[in-house]
Amino acid sequence: MAEIKARRPNITEIIVSIPGEGKQKAYNYDLMTGPVSAGDEVILNTTAVAKNLGTGGAHFVMANVSRPDKDMSGAGHIMKLRYSPCQVKVLAAEEPDSPHAEGIKNTETLGGTPVVVGTLHSMLAPAAAGIKVATGGRARVVYVMTDGAALPLWLSNMAYELREKGLVDATITCGHAFGGDYETINIYTALLTAVEAARADVVVAAMGPGIVGTASKYGFTGVEQGEIVNAVNILNGRPVSIPRISFADLRERHRGLSHHTVTALGKIALTPCTMVLPVLTDAGQEDLVTSQIGRAGLAEKHTIVREEGRPALDELDRRGIRVTSMGRSPADDPAFFLAAGAAGIYAGKLVAGRGIANAGS
C-alpha cells in the first residue's frame, strides 16, 4: 500500500508498506504506470534495493493494481525502451509530426557551439554554473542527457533543481533516455536539436544518474565521452571535455586522473577536444595529473588548458544548490568538482568572447 511522499512533474515518490519488510521508498513514473494515490496497491521492481545500489537504490512501480487503466494517447510514433514491457512512446524532435522536424532536417552544423562533455551526472551542476558565471548569466545552457545510465530524466533531482534555479534552460534526452523537454533518437540529432530548437549557446552532454562500470579498461558507460567528442567534431562544434579527477576516491584506478578519462579520450576519441584541467592548490596533485596526462599521450592528441573552477562552486553555494558525487561533496573531493566547474567556465568564455546569440530567447 502506498503513501505519497513527494510529487514532481511525471514522477511521484511514495512510501510503500511491504509485508514482513516494513515501509520503504519507491518511485512511480506517472506517464508510464499512471498516477498513484495513497492507499493504492502496486507491483514493485525491487532489484535495485536487493542489489544495494547507491544511485536508484529504491523500488520502482511496475503497475498500479488499484488503477490498471492509463491514458496512452499522447503524440509521437517513436518508441524508447523498444520491445520491452516498459516501452514508452515519445514525440521525437526529428520525426515528421514534430514542429521542429523541418528545422532539424535542414541543420547540419553546430556552427562552433561549445559542447561540454562529461562522464558523470554529478558533473552537470558545476559545469552549468561555470557557464553561467563566465557569461554573466546570459548564455542559454542546454543539457543533453544520454542513455549511459538512468533512462528517465525525471529521476534526476539535480536536473529538476537546475531548471528551477535557472542554471539549465532546456533539457534533451537521446537514445533510450526519455523525459526531456525534447526527445531525440541519437546524440547527433540531440546536438542539432540543442542548437536549432532549444537555441543553445552552450551544451552540456552527460549521462543521467548512475554510471555503469567495472574494473575493466573498456567496461564502463563513460566511454561515451570519446564518442560524443567525435560526434561534436563531425557536426562542427567545439568539444570541451571534463576530466574525471579525484584525490578522495580510494580506488587506485581513479586516483588523480581516472582511467575513465584516459580510455575515453585516449582510445575512444578519434578526434581532438580541449581538455580543461582545474587549478589545484596542491602542487603535488597538479604534478601527478600532469604526469598521468604525459604517460597517456593525451597532450599529443588534445589541447590541454588550465582554468580556475572555484567561481562555479561559489555560484552553486550562492544559489543554495548542494552537489555530491559518490556521496562526496566539494569539500570532500574538491578536484572532482573544480574540474567540471573549470570546463564550464572555459566554455562560457568561448561564447562570451564571440558574442552570445541566444540569451533571453
Distance, CA of 202 to CA of 224 (rounded, Å): 19
Set out the domains of the chain in order of their start, with CATH numbers.
2-64 (no CATH), 105-354 (3.40.50)
Residue 239's DSSP bridge partners are 115
Distances (CA, A) of 6 to 15, 39, 79, 128: 10, 15, 28, 26
Residue 182's DSSP bridge partners are 172
pLDDT surpasses 90 at 68: no
Length of the chain: 361
Residue with more model confidence, 256 or 129: 129
Distance, CA of 126 to CA of 146 (rounded, Å): 18
**Where does the pLDDT of residue 77 fall: very low under 50, low under 70, confident under 90, or very high at 90 and above?**
confident
Cell triple for 186:
541519437
**Where does the pLDDT of residue 204 fall: very low under 50, low under 70, confident under 90, or very high at 90 and above?**
very high
| Distance, first Cα to last Cα, the chain | 45
Over residues 178-200, mean pLDDT: 98
Helical H segments across 54-123, by residue range:
101-105
Q: How many CA atoms lie within 13 A of 295 on its CB side?
A: 13
Over residues 150-155, mean pLDDT: 94
Cell triple for 3:
503513501
What's the one-letter identity of residue 327? G
Cell triple for 349:
568564455
Distances (CA, A) of 267 to 66, 301, 320: 51, 10, 38
Angle at 276 between CA 112 and CA 296, to 5 degrees: 110
